[in-house]
Structure 1
Amino acid sequence: MLRITVIGAHAEGGDPVRGEKVFQYCYSCHSVQPDETNLQGPNLYGIVGRRIASQEGFSYSPALRAFAQQEERWTEDRLDRYLRAPYKLVPKTSMAFPGVEAQDERADLIAYLRSKDGAH
């Protein structure tokens, strides 16, 4: 039996294969392919560890730009909190997505995004 250890607000050891399925929530607005341009949302290739609101060529909402002044980078913990409830972490964000409630799905999604960082 697989046991997931919870550290902070996210589960360590998410499964990127399952996370690719969870990414189906995101794919209509976001890409994780390094050579694709931004869609309705910014390209998420290399998002884990990236400076917040820094994707070249994307026009971020004032709310996310203000959040980027307070928080430097998308850490796994910060992504977990944002993916759970975007409007709670960044009030007035323009991302029209209610969030991913299930902690294991968020861990899997973050593992998938982490696998799309150019180092794999």
Structure 2
Amino acid sequence: MDSFELNKILGAILASCLVLLVMNFTANALFAPVPPAKPGFEIAVKEEAAGGGEAAAPAKSEPIEKLLQTASVEKGAAAAKKCLACHTFAKGEPNRVGPNLWGIVGDHKGEGRGGFNFSAAMKAKGGEWTDEDLNQFLTSPKGFIPGTAMGFAGIPKDSERADVIDYLHTLADTPVPLPTASK
């Protein structure tokens, strides 16, 4: 191979690099990316009361038994869609970040759930998931079980919580009956 052929090959490589470089500068000038003002996503979490003192008592709400009398399973299924990021609902589905919620009403807290690894705080709470416990937990998970790993801020609206609990009642082979409202 003579030097003329070698010069042509090296010239072609150099010209290709030069064309790529010019295309890069042109693309960056035409399609300049705009960096976000604040990187990342904000996760809504209720903050603790400042000063380490006792938090202000929440407004007294209706008893869950009374709210469940007017609750809607359909509305509860729609409201529970926000839980799908971490939980599954159908029988036999795998756990995700949180456990599968099939048969949760009346089940033991921090146990079972297809081998899900519950936090120490959830295991220590003990007892069964009653309607009142579910209501308090869905209002403020970290308020009901301090130290829980659940990062959900809670459902502040009474009727929406009742709808979700009514929906959770339907997720079982033999559903736990709804309580009757005491007068």
TM-score (norm 1): 0.87
Give RMSD over aligned pairs: 1.5
Secondary structure of the structure 2 residue equivalent to 1:109? helix
How many residue pairs get matched? 112
Secondary structure of the structure 1 residue equivalent to 2:85? coil
- Greater fraction of residues in helix: 2
Task: Tell me what 1:11 maps to.
Answer: 67
CA contact (8 A) 2:135 2:165 kept: yes
1:58 paired with 2:116, answer yes
Query: What amino acid is the match of 1:11?
Result: L
Report the CA distance between 1:119 and its aligned residue: 2.4
What residue ranges of structure 1 are gaps of 5+ in the alignment? 1-5
CA contact (8 A) 2:76 2:166 kept: yes
Secondary structure of the structure 2 residue equivalent to 1:32? coil
Report the CA distance between 1:66 and its aligned residue: 1.0
Q: Distance in 2 between matches of 1:9 and 1:62?
A: 29
TM-score (norm 2): 0.58
Task: Tell me what 1:3 maps to.
Answer: none
Alignment of 1:1-120 (within 5 A): 6-7=62-63, 11-13=67-69, 14-54=71-111, 55-68=113-126, 72-119=127-174
What residue ranges of structure 2 are gaps of 5+ in the alignment? 1-61, 176-183
CA radius of gyration, larger in: 2
| Compared CA separation, residues 10 and 48, structure 1 to 2 (3 A) | farther
Q: Distance in 1 between matches of 2:63 and 2:149?
A: 29
Secondary structure of the structure 2 residue equivalent to 1:119? coil
